[in-house]
A = this chain, B = another copy of it.
Amino acid sequence: MADHTTIVVSSGDMDKLYSALIIANGSLSMGMAVSLYFTFWGLERLTKKGLAKGPLSRMNLLGLGKAFMKWRMKKANVASLERLMADYRDLGGKVIACEMTMEIMGLRREDMREDWIDEYGAVGTYVRDARQSCITLYV
């Protein structure tokens, strides 16, 4: 069991992306290795449209406007998703994009933020990392 965190990011909701990236960066800064495996709606957030331009998040549905949420987060000194992803990359975190989902969603490599992606993989890539991990999550 290696000191590794592996998270499947299947959701594009802002709160789930925050959870994943905050746990990922926390793990990295405590000396662990991390793999984020993006699939389904999570994968959409890796396109050139950008992390912040995803579908309506649950936060909006509950009546907290996106602008209000961002203002509160700024006030609480919470980094943006783009900033968290940049930190994640700088700290050596690995990003895997699910190739099968790309095909289903009709996404090509040139649609993606390729500078963020280390590997285009399938379930074997995920299991290889996850079976060695002490923290495995699905958000």
Known contacts A10-B19, A15-B10; decide if A130 and B134 are in contact (CB<8 Å): yes
For this complex, 6 residue pairs linking A to B, each with C-beta atoms less than 8 Å apart, are A8-B19, A10-B16, A15-B40, A15-B41, A19-B39, A41-B58
Oligomeric state, in copies: 3
- A52 at interface by CB-CB < 8 Å: no
Report the minimum CB–CB distance from A36 to chain B (whole Å): 13
Number of interface residues of A (CB under 8 A): 48
Chain A positions 121 through 139: 1 when the CB is less than 8 Å from some CB of chain B, otherwise 0: 0111011101111111111
Complex: how many Å from CA A128 to CA B73? 25
Contact, CB under 8 Å: B127 / A27 = yes
